[in-house]
A and B are shown apart, each in its own frame.
Chain A
Amino acid sequence: MKILTLVRQVPDAEARVKINAQQVDLEGATLVIDGMDEYGVEEALRLREGGANVEEIVALAVGPKRVEDALRTALAMGVDRAIHVETDEKLDPIALSRIVAQVAQAEGVGLVLVGGQEADWDSQALGAATAERLGWPQLTWTNELKVEGDTLTGRHDVDDGNESFRAPLPAVVTTQQGLNEPRYPTLPNIMKAKRKELRKDDLATYGVQPRVRVVNSEIQTRARLNRMIDGKDPQAAAQQLLDLLRNEAKVIA
């Protein structure tokens, strides 16, 4: 079986977000692999190391030239080869899923791994949309995964707890924190990654148009009171806090 793992590039979670001309401006921001996707890369490697029949692991990224860095990270972690669909166009997940599905089909993969929630656009849609395009089942918010022959088993979070599941391959799985601990690329592997194939594709090949337009973005921070209460005398501090909550904020009786 071949595994396709999607890799997005996002600003580091701690990075300050700037807005310029009503759009988020990434100029100068530290960009990293989306952590949620990194769990997918790691899981593909672990499935192979754990003895599942994995012929090849391919990483896919769609985005501007700089996205190559995220693919290099995936290659250095251990994926076999990478595909970069280079474009400056901002694609929403429904549009993006057309590319992922076409690549999955062309490559004949049996499992697609995608992060459960994008760390920048906060969308959870890509895995499900890709599964629908391929006509495959999907498992989202997965935190345990096993492949035996053509069967996928594991555990994932649902609305009110979690479920163990069994599903046939091919399938799409969305990954999240708790599934594994992603490895750091070692220097020899970083060197090796430089010789691995990183194929460039053109967006035009996929015939994809964005379906959603971003009209405007703004940072709306609520001004906070930032009122500090001295904690040295716990009784006095407790009384003062309760008074403020009762009489100033009026949020408790």
Chain B
Amino acid sequence: MILIVAEHAGGQLAKSTLEMVTAARAVLESGGGREGPVTILVLGQNVAEVANAAAAVADQVLVADLPGLATYNAEVWAAATAQIAQEGEASVVIIGGSRSGREYAPRVAVKLDAPYLEDAIALKANGQALQAQRYTYLARVTETVEAEAPVIVVTVKPGSFAPAAPAPAAGEQYDVELDLPAPRVEVTGRSVEKSSRVALTEADVIVTGGRGVGSPENFATYVEGLADRLGAGVGATRAVVDAGWRPYAEQVGQTGKTVQPKAYVALGVSGAVQHLSGMGKSKYIVAINKDAEAPIFKVADYGIVGDVNQIVPALIEAARK
């Protein structure tokens, strides 16, 4: 079987889970002897709705609805996943390429003595081997890697595969029992930074502000103002997040989110390599910066050398028409 661990939040199946189903089908269609069924494992508590949504796209769904799974914990998630992979003799284990997914997937690989293909953007069989593509060197290089073993653990980069459409018939659901370890990391406080806007990873258009925007007040006026006009998500550079102007949830880049919108509008952003690695695959990049030498212009499709204080109000005004 091909085992996918569902990503879900707030009682909703995440789009990334549908993308993982497409990745699983890509493995099956490319041959290589790895076989279905495409199985989604749902870990959590009170996850009946998530399981139903998963059943709409998978051949079967394994549901572990347990109090011990109420909140994510790397050791617990790894133990649960490895146990099901072993019992079901999975030949591929697919985990989401979110921060948490890439945190527990290596533990699953070690438990299963499996090779690990991390953050895949494409996946297929190459004979007996499983072959993946991934970005390296701050997303400047695309690399093809492969591994051969009875079971291989893969994480899939969000946004790299089309979400699977519902299958003609819903998959069967089965409850599973698990032997869970006691979590050793205790969470003593939690700060959820939710942006009230379109999720960055889903937005068609993103307006991002950098330090060149000048102040938190300007950020609200210019970046949010333009985003409102364009129905866009709001992004920020690390410099802006470190300065406390914006929440970490909006950070784009190596240590923030990777985004791939149709249009990425960068206001007062210098274009450091760590920022480019998170947005460089956007379809169109627009840059407004007062420094004609700013590196962001090298990757821009449309650029305006100018002051955000002058250009952005004009843009907001023009977009209103």
Contacts and interface: CB of A to CB of B under 8 A. Distances in A.
Contact of A124 (B118, B184, B286, B307): B118
B302 A229 contact: yes
B191 interface: yes
B290 to A, nearest CB: 8
A171 to B, nearest CB: 8
Given A128-B74, A235-B314, A220 B137 contact: no
A188 interface: no
Given A14-B273, A24-B141, A212-B116, A217 B136 contact: yes
Interface in B222-248: 230, 238, 242, 247-248
A167 interface: yes
B146 interface: yes
B318 interface: yes
B191 A237 contact: no
Nearest to A22: B144
Interface stretch (A1-9, A74-82, A153-161): A153-161
Contact of A177 (B103, B131, B146, B255): B255
B285 A224 contact: yes
A54 to B, nearest CB: 22
Q: Which 7 A-B pairs rank lowest in CB-CB distance, beginning with the nearest?
A: A231-B306, A164-B189, A238-B314, A211-B115, A129-B106, A128-B106, A132-B107
A131 interface: yes
In the complex, which range does the number of interface residues on chain B fall in? 35 or more
B6 interface: no
A64 to B, nearest CB: 18
Interface stretch (B37-45, B55-63, B84-92, B293-301): B293-301
Interface string A101-143: 0000000000000001101111111101101110001111100
A217 B302 contact: no
Interface string B66-93: 0000001011001000000000000000
Highest count of chain A CB atoms <10 Å: which of B185, B191, B311? B185
A180 to B, nearest CB: 13
A97 B110 contact: yes
A234 interface: yes
Interface residues of A, number: 80
B301 to A, nearest CB: 4
B291 to A, nearest CB: 12
A168 B105 contact: no
Contact of A252 (B134, B205, B313): B205
A187 interface: no
A214 to B, nearest CB: 5
Interface stretch (A44-52, A65-73, A193-201, A243-251): A243-251
Interface of B: 9, 72, 74-75, 78, 98-100, 102-107, 109-111, 115-119, 131, 134-147, 149, 184-194, 204-205, 230, 238, 242, 247-249, 254-255, 262-263, 273-274, 280-281, 283-286, 288, 297-307, 310-311, 313-315, 317-319
Given A13-B274, A224-B301, A251-B262, A122 B146 contact: no
Contacts of A251: 204-205, 262-263, 283-284
Interface string A217-246: 111111011111111101101110110110
A103 to B, nearest CB: 16
Contacts of B75: 137-138
15 contacts: A24-B137, A121-B136, A122-B139, A128-B74, A132-B107, A138-B75, A160-B249, A161-B191, A164-B187, A167-B185, A226-B298, A227-B301, A231-B310, A242-B319, A251-B262
Given A160-B192, A160-B194, A165-B185, A245 B302 contact: yes
A215 interface: yes
Contacts of B102: 124-125
A216 interface: yes
A234 B290 CA distance: 12
Contact of A211 (B104, B147, B230, B314): B147
A149 interface: no
A104 B166 CA distance: 48
A207 interface: no
B184 A241 contact: no
A229 B297 CA distance: 11
A132 B284 contact: no
Given A24-B141, A155-B189, A224-B299, 11 more contacts: A24-B136, A122-B139, A131-B107, A132-B107, A138-B185, A161-B247, A165-B188, A168-B184, A215-B144, A229-B303, A230-B304
